[in-house]
Structure 1
Amino acid sequence: MKRTALFLVVGFLLFLSSAIAQTQNSDSLYRQPLKDVLAEIESRFKVKVKYSDNQIKDRWVNYAFWRFRPNVDETLANVLAPLDMKVNKEKAGVYKLKEYEYYRWQVQEGQNTLDYLSTLYKDKASWEQRKALIKPLLYEAQLLSPLPAKPASKPIVTPKRIMDGYTVENIAIEILPGLYVNGSLYKPLKIKGKIPVVLSPDGHWAQQRYRADCQIRCAMIARMGAMAISYDLFAWGESLLQFKAEDHRRSLAHTIQTLGGIRILDYVLSLKETDKGRVGISGGSGGGSHTVLMAAMDDRIKLSVPVVSLSSSFYGGCPCESGMPIHLCAGGTNNVELAAMAAPNPQLVVSDGKDWTVSVPEHDMPFLKKIYGYYGGPDLVQNVHLPDEGHDFGPSKRKALYDFLIQNFKLNGAAVKNKTGQYDESKCRVEKESAMYVFGDKGERLPANAIKGFEQLEKVFKASISK
């Protein structure tokens, strides 16, 4: 018995010694390479996880197999969350590995947040208090309170090009010393009295504002009797004469794009033919996020049409949409609440069935109608949902915009419809990209004071807001 007891004591001491040693060694963390853990997940749950070698290189998972649960979704979340990673489910049994997307939430989580925000107000007065709290914070969050001084330079405008029922001229506006935002201004060929204007911020699509659908949209608006101005994202399009493409993915892009929109609005409102009571804005994708933000911040905008962008579960997938902490304002907000700040001005939300706007009709629209109802106008906010379509600004989306502009800005729909009453875009000319440049084919007309590079921009911006 004594010998047995001795063996038990010695055995326990050896086990304890080993355990102590393991606490000083990474082995005690049950550490495994991420690649091996993903392979085990694939094997155990009979699924496929798609990834690149760069995504998993030098990535390790502590307590790897302790994180496994009976279902694959919970297991993936437990494994990837500490690494700031996640997966998107592409179809049944197939997942794609991604970096953690702070801007993309589960639909139910976004809707729960919207439900919570709804408890903060119960009538027009309490909503106006909330709106008054958020609005100045949006400027502060983007370092635009106060706004930087406006350069005294005049816009650079190219000669007009005469089209069928409209004209086009390219324009560059200096928004900070040496920093230009470029665009194209479309006007009716014949202008009588005051006419509306529609800002058309670009989205994250190839060919920027030179795209056929962007040119057609602006030309149609002009042929109906309004002005339309399309303009570049920061470090996008002609802005690449001053910056690198990767500069677009910096937080300051958010601020610069907002400032660009404000300065473009200043310009079009200075034109003698502009009807200040009929100023609208409509962009798609990232341009839709810009549309919502501008309509929330600037009371001069009287109509807004965000296209394939608005959702309570999506905050914008680019730093130019959420790089500055606008969504942390007033204890936290989201794009749907920001869109509600446009009330009671007419607003059309265009959504589809193949991106994050898929759930807009079921939850986000009732919220917007509730806010618009405080002003007695729930029908002033509308939704065109296209369940079989995807993420673009195609013909159906453009038709929805045209209808809304005709309805609210009293434009001449007959001028752009054929004998059967259908919209006819065939008279809109799609120009070559080079025809839409302000600074020449190779940037040879870029002003001598133009900023060159992001580092210089940071210095200029800092100097501008410190005055």
Structure 2
Amino acid sequence: MMNKKYIVALLFSVLLMPLSNAQTSNSDNNYRGLITETVQKIATIFKVTINDKDGLLKGKELDYADWRIRQGNLDVSLTAVLSPFDLTYFKENDSTYRIRKFEYARRSADIGQERLTYLANLYPNLKTWETRKTDLKECIRTAIGLDKAPAIPKKKPILTPVRKYKNYTVENIGLEIIPGVYATGSIYKPYPLKGKVPVVITPNGHFGDGRYRKDEQYRCAVLAQMGAVVVNFDLFAWGESTLQFDATLHRNSIAQTIQVLSAERLLDYMLTQKYIDKNRVGVTGGSGGGSMTMFLAAIDDRIKVSVPVVMTSSHFVGGCPCESGRGLHLCGNGTNNAEIAAMAAPKAQLIVSDGKDWTVTVPELELPFIQKTYSLFGKKNLIENAHFPNEGHDYGLSKRMAMYPFMAKYLNLDLKKVQNDKGEIDESTCVIEPYEKLYVFGNKAENLPKNALKDINQLYALFGEKNEKVYEVKK
């Protein structure tokens, strides 16, 4: 017969042994466990599939891992175990989730829906929306840094000789927007130019060749033939801007400041021209240019018509610091590009979206939200969507064909001037110019002003800031 003390000791030793597949606690491990095992338990509890295709969970351990599971809430459980590693999850469908690195600029569509629901509840009527919009507008301008921008130098812009084509002209412009910093671009005008005409600002995006590519030249030339003066300009540290700031500097947050400021001051200049109708101002651009289109329409009351292309989203705010590096999406305790697009209300706006990027959800998600804001003004008819489910991220032919009639309608342009005998818009009358013809400062930069600033740190200093490069997200 066993000694009673031995039996008691044996029972205690058994009780203290770790159970199979269970996390234990002592001063060394604090219920420490592999996150892969915890995530699998979450998948089992909630009967879902959680994919780690990129191996982001491999080898990672977490204190109190299983204790972080909330059996009644999948989202809270995943957030609790992933956030310590700067990881997040994307809901791919009702039963499948994917582990991804945390990206400040990108969330999943279900998070976008959640945010839009929250935002919509902030302003049930026009009065509350107007208050929200006023606060956002002031904050966005401050976040971008427009309030700290030095005054524009009192100098005439540099203009190249005019090149005449059948129904339009082109000349290049270099405008000193702040001391030593030049916005470089081209101005397309209808020919002959008669009476008062509208002006369209066309910021370009991150497409290869920037404003020099065929798609961009088609857009500008056709709008000019329809009767608008069109101003196209380079991104910061892109195109001719690289004569001042190397292309590697584009992904600095100051790029967002300079790009929006370039658009604003180019518009300032154009509105001083006697032939411009100040009541007919439009803006359109794609990708990063689509971001700028939304920003400009939101903060500049002079703009009456906007066409943001392949960029309006509730769950992606732009992967480049030139779109999201200044933190403007933190305004109002959190906003997104759908709400920023809604700030254009009640001005005419066409949102162009496609089926192969973050704008895939526009028809079902972002458009109804923006329509609700327009409805507060009784102007739901002024917000439209052209969606191309089988296309991808570009400002290609079909997207331009959606934009032209919209601009014609709301800027009072003459669509007939670009239509062929079949009534189709014909871009073949446009002349695609080589790079060198679009340069402001000459083929070898021989005309670059001597005061051209080339130091990125000095550029930040002009705004009273230090150069601190921000995190970027690849598109």
User: Is TM-score (shorter-chain normalized) higher than 0.5?
Assistant: yes
Q: Name the CA distance, whole Å, in 1 between partners of 2:441 and 2:98.
A: 42
Tell me: CA distance 1:76–1:247, structure 2 relative to 1, closer, same or farther (3 Å): farther
Q: C-alpha displacement at 1:233, in angstroms?
A: 1.4
Deviations 1:4-59 (A, max 9, x none): 2696599699989xxxxx96657974469x9xx99xx9xxx8967247xxx999x8
Deviations 1:106-161 (A, max 9, x none): 21221221122222223322222222222111112223225431112221111111
Q: C-alpha displacement at 1:78, in angstroms?
A: 6.9
Partner of 2:300: 298
Moved more, 235-244 or 205-214: 235-244
Deviations 1:221-248 (A, max 9, x none): 0111111111111122211122232322
Partner of 2:354: 352
SS in structure 2 of the partner of residue 426 of structure 1:
helix
Q: Are 2:163 and 2:170, in contact at CA under 8 Å, matched by a contact in 1?
A: yes
The answer to whether structure 1 residue 62 and structure 2 residue 66 are counterparts is: no
Q: Are 2:148 and 2:463, in contact at CA under 8 Å, matched by a contact in 1?
A: no
Partner of 2:447: 445
Which residues of structure 1 form unaligned runs of 5+? 17-21
Which residues of structure 2 form unaligned runs of 5+? 19-24, 44-48, 467-475
Tell me: CA distance 1:114–1:73, structure 2 relative to 1, closer, same or farther (3 Å): closer
Q: C-alpha displacement at 1:269, in angstroms?
A: 0.9
SS in structure 2 of the partner of residue 181 of structure 1:
strand
Provide the TM-score with structure 2 as the length reference.
0.83
Tell me: CA distance 1:221–1:27, structure 2 relative to 1, closer, same or farther (3 Å): same
Deviations 1:161-215 (A, max 9, x none): 1222111111111112111111111111211101011100011111111111001
Q: Name the CA distance, whole Å, in 1 between partners of 2:443 and 2:217.
A: 19
Q: Name the CA distance, whole Å, in 1 between partners of 2:194 and 2:363.
A: 39
Residue 53 of structure 2 is aligned with which of 32, 49, 58? 49
Q: Name the CA distance, whole Å, in 2 between partners of 1:434 and 1:297.
A: 34
Tell me: CA distance 1:259–1:447, structure 2 relative to 1, closer, same or farther (3 Å): same
SS in structure 1 of the partner of residue 271 of structure 2:
helix
Tell me: CA distance 1:378–1:423, structure 2 relative to 1, closer, same or farther (3 Å): same
Partner of 2:411: 409
Tell me: CA distance 1:362–1:156, structure 2 relative to 1, closer, same or farther (3 Å): same
Q: Are 2:145 and 2:463, in contact at CA under 8 Å, matched by a contact in 1?
A: no
Residue 454 of structure 1 is aligned with which of 437, 452, 456? 456
SS in structure 2 of the partner of residue 171 of structure 1:
strand
Q: Name the CA distance, whole Å, in 1 between partners of 2:16 and 2:405.
A: 81
SS in structure 2 of the partner of residue 103 of structure 1:
coil
Higher helix share: 1
Partner of 1:178: 180
Q: Name the CA distance, whole Å, in 1 between partners of 2:464 and 2:148.
A: 13
RMSD, matched Cα: 3.5
Number of corresponding residues:
448
SS in structure 2 of the partner of residue 384 of structure 1:
strand
Tell me: CA distance 1:89–1:329, structure 2 relative to 1, closer, same or farther (3 Å): closer
Q: Are 1:202 and 1:287, in contact at CA under 8 Å, matched by a contact in 2?
A: yes
Q: Which amino acid aligns with 1:130?
A: R
Alignment of 1:236-385 (within 5 A): 236-385=238-387
The answer to whether structure 1 residue 207 and structure 2 residue 209 are counterparts is: yes
Q: Are 2:149 and 2:463, in contact at CA under 8 Å, matched by a contact in 1?
A: no
Deviations 1:290-331 (A, max 9, x none): 111111111111111101110122222221111112122222
Partner of 1:148: 150
Deviations 1:345-386 (A, max 9, x none): 111111111111111111322222222222222111111111
Partner of 1:19: none
Moved more, 143-152 or 237-246: 143-152
Q: Which amino acid aligns with 2:141?
A: Y
Q: C-alpha displacement at 1:89, in angstroms?
A: 8.8
Partner of 2:470: none
Partner of 2:160: 158
Tell me: CA distance 1:23–1:177, structure 2 relative to 1, closer, same or farther (3 Å): farther
